[in-house]
A and B are shown apart, each in its own frame.
Chain A
Amino acid sequence: QKEVEQDPGPLSVPEGAIVSLNCTYSNSAFQYFMWYRQYSRKGPELLMYTYSSGNKEDGRFTAQVDKSSKYISLFIRDSQPSDSATYLCALPPNAGGTSYGKLTFGQGTILTVHP
């Protein structure tokens, strides 16, 4: 079983739509999760970082963790064409919370927001 799985899309929405991006993970011991955004031919950039269950909001972005289902989500409200990118969920180095080490990325969901 893969550590983290993500629907690669692609996802195409009109400007202003609410976007929902999702990942599932297999190891219930993980305590925090990350969402990265990657523009074409650029490196991933950290978008949001969430710890434990519940919601975290940052402007138009909301990250949600459902540990009982091992499901993480990223919602984008009032989506803009500039949000068009690949969105990657990522697991931290290990379930114990060490801050150093490899990240494990999902496949990435390609999002296009058209005007």
Chain B
Amino acid sequence: EPEVTQTPSHQVTQMGQEVILRCVPISNHLYFYWYRQILGQKVEFLVSFYNNEISEKSEIFDDQFSVERPDGSNFTLKIRSTKLEDSAMYFCASNQGAAGYTFGSGTRLTVV
């Protein structure tokens, strides 16, 4: 079964450093997303991406965040200057239709 692949599974970074989280969505999907889940809290939407541009973003997705699809397969989330409160699980998802949302296993980001 097709899956969304995320790397790395765990990233530890120092406060103020830049991190790039990587995702390979399902190949024939056209919409891509990043979600975040702080420990013990709900899964929160960050951004959606379609046709090489952001289609929607939440208030969480400020200037410190950016997304990119550098080639035909990868989809990345960059955090320019990490803060302690950025520590969370970050999930990439892609979809084709409402029943077709598929999430990756996530990257656990720890900012120290």
Using CB atoms and an 8 Å cutoff, list the residues of chain A in contact with chain B. 32, 34, 38, 41-46, 49, 88, 92-93, 97, 99-108
Q: With contacts A99-B95, A99-B98 known, what are 4 further pairs, Cβ within 8 A?
A: A45-B103, A99-B97, A100-B30, A101-B31
The residue that B106 contacts in the complex, of A41, A101, A107, with Cβ under 8 A, is: A41
Q: Are A102 and B42 in contact (CB under 8 A)?
A: no
Size category, B interface? 20 to 34
Tell me the bound Cα distance from A100 to B94 in angstroms. Answer: 10
Q: Are B56 and A49 in contact (CB under 8 A)?
A: no
Tell me the bound Cα distance from A90 to B108 in angstroms. Answer: 22
Residue of A nearest to B47 (CB): A102
The residue that A44 contacts in the complex, of B31, B43, B108, with Cβ under 8 A, is: B43
Q: A102-B45, A105-B42, A107-B42 are in contact. Are A43 and B95 (CB under 8 A)?
A: no
Least Cβ–Cβ distance between A55 and chain B, in angstroms: 18
The residue that A101 contacts in the complex, of B56, B91, B104, B105, with Cβ under 8 A, is: B56
Using Cβ atoms and an 8 Å threshold, which residues of chain B touch A105? 42-44
Using Cβ atoms and an 8 Å threshold, which residues of chain A touch B98? 32, 34, 49, 92-93, 97, 99
Q: Are B106 and A42 in contact (CB under 8 A)?
A: yes
